[in-house]
Amino acid sequence: MSGARKVSIMSTLWSVMRKELLEISRDRRTFFFSLLLMPLLIPVFLLGGGALVQNKARTQMDKVLEVPVQGAERAPNLVAFLGAHGIVAVDPPQDVEVAIARQDVEVALYIHEDFASDWRAGRPALVEILSDSTRQNAQIPVQRLTAALNGYGAQVGMLRLMARGIDPAVTRSVTVGTRDMASAEAKRGILLSALLPYLLIITAFLGGAALIMDATAGERERQSLEPLLATPAQRSAVVSGKIAAACAMGLFSLLLTLLAFKASAVLAGSRGQMLDVSFLAIAKMLLVLLPMLFIGTALLTYLAASSKSMKEAQTHMTWLMLLPMVPTLMLMVNPVKAELWQFAVPFLAQNQLLTKVIRAEFIDPQVWGLYLLASFGLAAVLWFAAVRRYHQERLAISA
Amino acid sequence: MIIANDLHKSFKTKSGIVNAVDGVSFEARDGEITGLLGPNGAGKTTTMRMLYTLMKPDRGQVLVDGMDCALDPIGVRRALGVLPDARGVYKRLTARENIAYFGELHGLSAARIAERTAALSAALDMGDILERQTEGFSQGQRTKTAIARALVHDPRNVILDEPTNGLDVMTTRAMRGFLRQLREEGRCVIFSSHIMQEVAALCDRIVIIARGSVVATGSADELRALTGEENLEDAFVKAIGSEEGLFA
């Protein structure tokens, strides 16, 4: 009777991991959904979203801009000049301000009552651009109109000086030029640099969520935890096996996501070239995201293990989804220079590093060192906390 | 052989401290079936959880084959086969995979697991369900799977919490036969129940628990003699001092 021998932690871990993976693979829908959602979503964002933004910009730049002009009769030359630059004056609606508020009109022009008399007298004649600066849609039309008006003003001014026998160059004491120092790669990456890191971080952070919640809170709810804990299996090995299974699944999903990212960047043609998707870059991204996978899975294990039911465990998902956004939002409100300490802060570090990788910027070995140390350290602490949870007496008691 | 020595366990609840187990001692010998009999809420499950090391007693000691639960919980678990009150089987695994998983956790080789699965399947008559996923199993099929899983490592001591709960008459009869077989094999079997006839029919020794304490111990005959009642049920009611919880 017996024949039971001492079981090593590794073989228990391996048994638990294999069993959890077998179990979830039999749950086809959950399995494929959690594995393939992100790999399918990334190309949609990348190809669809990118195309949408570029299309919008192109059509807004090229198409004839219709601008309601109040008092067009006071400045026929100006209106003709605008017309030559693709900006057509149309009759203004009854109340321009209301029309802008209702978003019927993106930008309008008001030519002041005294325009004609000021003009003839050689005084600065007043025109006003009306728009809502908080509306992104209005940005390009306003830029176009402003540029055209400035062009008209400069042209007429020069003609006036020349008519008086003065070289127009004397009025320009300083010539301001701009040279954008952003690298070409960085410029191209700007569109995706905000969204992509978040998507990738979420994929890593919650990649193992479906499995780990099922294997912890779900196991407890289905009352199979008590028999499991009555076996001689080491609890640390049981927890680690579950975490390992979730991480294996998360890693697989992450790999698919990164490959989908690479594939869609290639498919996107010229737009895709704005991103560094060499295999080296993909490998770097994987290295950045790997600790995130451990952190997320261990944190979920800790939270879900103490939940009484699957339902309770799932309530954690809402704030966990928002968590990776916090540093992005903070950076948007209060942009800070990249400093070394930031690479020890979870989410902020991944965000910064991924952006750097995508923009093909050099990452200091010191930064890598600090990042890997801090993030794997945090993962270890969370893992330890999850193991402690499994040693609690009340955990085993389901009802 | 399992010895429980003056076990105490209390829980903090919203309404105060509940002494779930308040001085339970008994001895369960090899080759005997020991029945823990008591009304619902008497502390049977908590007592058993202390026996299989899931809970630590506040006071008292449990010895399994001479091993102290507090000092060598893993050694104790290796010597025990446990069917807990919560007996969820993994729904997406087949009965065989359920059994094999626990076999692996006990460190058995694949060959040994196959051998034990065949033996248990024959004893519990589960040949037709062995390769099926347990999703949709009847209560009896689930209990059989859970028992086979609990006994895969061929333990010398077997603890079963209300093993016949929710089973139909035929399955219950088969289960009793199985428990007797475990006794014939020389194992120490402890099972809990609140059903009088079952305990009377099966047990060599009966431990009656009420309100967290042992109120009487002995064979069915000894209990009848002790309480001066002919009928075991009357003896039981007399021993626990009320009819509370008996019909729940």
Segments of chain A scoring below 70 in pLDDT: 1-6, 49-62, 177-194, 269-275, 398-399
> At B73, is the pLDDT very low, low, confident or very high (cuts 50, 70, 90)?
very high
- The DSSP symbol for B133 reads B
B80 in contact with chain A, both atoms CB, cutoff 8 A: yes
Q: How far apart are CA B55 and CA B46, in angstroms?
A: 8
Q: How far apart are CA A110 and CA A290, in angstroms?
A: 57
Measured between beta carbons, the chain A residues lying within 8 angstroms of B146 are 227
Coil, strand or helix: which one is B167?
coil
Interchain contact, B106 vs A23, CB within 8 Å = no
pLDDT given for residue B248 in this prediction: 40
DSSP-derived secondary structure for B172-206? HHHHHHHHHHHHHTT-EEEEEES-HHHHHHH-SEE
Identify which of A16, A26, A227 has the shortest CB distance to residue B149: A227
Cα B228 from chain centroid (whole Å): 29
Share of chain A above pLDDT 90, in %: 30
pLDDT given for residue A204 in this prediction: 92
Helix B169-184 to helix B139-150 angle (10° resolution) is 10
Contact B52, B159 (CB under 8 A): yes
Q: Structure tokens of B195? A: 């059903």
Interchain contact, B153 vs A19, CB within 8 Å = no
B137 in contact with chain A, both atoms CB, cutoff 8 A: no
- Phi and psi at A196, nearest 5°, equal -60, -45
> At B33, is the pLDDT very low, low, confident or very high (cuts 50, 70, 90)?
very high
Predicted TM-score of the model (pTM): 0.81
Identify which of A27, A224, A396 has the shortest CB distance to residue B54: A396
Task: Compute the average pLDDT of residues B163-180.
Answer: 89
Q: How do residues B222-235 score in pLDDT, each as one tens digit?
A: 888 887 887 777 88
For testing contact with chain A, the best of B45, B96, B104, B149 (most A CBs within 10 A): B104
Measured between beta carbons, the chain B residues lying within 8 angstroms of A231 are 77, 102, 105-106
pLDDT given for residue A180 in this prediction: 56
Contact B239, B217 (CB under 8 A): no
For testing contact with chain B, the best of A226, A229, A231, A393 (most B CBs within 10 A): A231
DSSP-derived secondary structure for A206-240? TTTHHHHHIIIIIHHHTT-HHHHHTSS--HHHHHH
Q: How do residues A267-323 score in pLDDT, each as one tens digit?
A: 776 555 566 778 898 999 999 999 999 999 999 999 998 888 889 999 999 899 888
Q: How do residues A56-92 score in pLDDT, each as one tens digit?
A: 666 666 678 888 988 888 888 888 888 888 888 888 8
Task: Compute the average pLDDT of residues B36-52.
Answer: 91
The ipTM is 0.92
How far off is chain A from B204, nearest CA to CA, in Å?
22
User: What is the average pLDDT value for chain B, to the nearest integer?
Assistant: 90
Interchain contact, A222 vs B150, CB within 8 Å = no
pLDDT given for residue B91 in this prediction: 94
> CA separation (Å) from A50 to A44, A188, A357, B118?
9, 11, 19, 61
Contact B189, B33 (CB under 8 A): yes
Identify which of A6, A7, A223 has the shortest CB distance to residue B86: A223
For the sheet containing A127-131, what is the strand order? A87-90, A65-70, A107-111, A127-131
Q: How far apart are CA A171 and CA A167, in angstroms?
A: 8
How far off is chain A from B62, nearest CA to CA, in Å?
15
To the nearest 10°, report the CA torsion of A346, A347, A352, A356: 100
For testing contact with chain A, the best of B50, B106, B165 (most A CBs within 10 A): B106
Q: How far apart are CA A85 and CA A78, in angstroms?
A: 11
A and B: number of Cβ contacts within 8 A: 109
Residue type, A245: A
For residue A228, the chain B residue with the least C-alpha distance is B102
Measured between beta carbons, the chain B residues lying within 8 angstroms of A228 are 105
Numbered residues of chain A with Cβ closer than 8 Å to any chain B Cβ: 1-7, 11-12, 15-16, 19, 22-23, 26-27, 219, 222-234, 393, 396-399
Question: What residues have CB less than 8 Å from A173, skipping those under 6 apart?
Answer: none
Interchain contact, B54 vs A231, CB within 8 Å = no
- The DSSP symbol for A171 reads G
B120 in contact with chain A, both atoms CB, cutoff 8 A: no
pLDDT given for residue B243 in this prediction: 58
How far off is chain B from A359, nearest CA to CA, in Å?
45
Helix A9-26 to helix B95-105 angle (10° resolution) is 160
Interchain contact, B88 vs A232, CB within 8 Å = no
Coil, strand or helix: which one is A165?
coil
Q: How far apart are CA B148 and CA A145, in angstroms?
A: 82
Interchain contact, A227 vs B106, CB within 8 Å = no
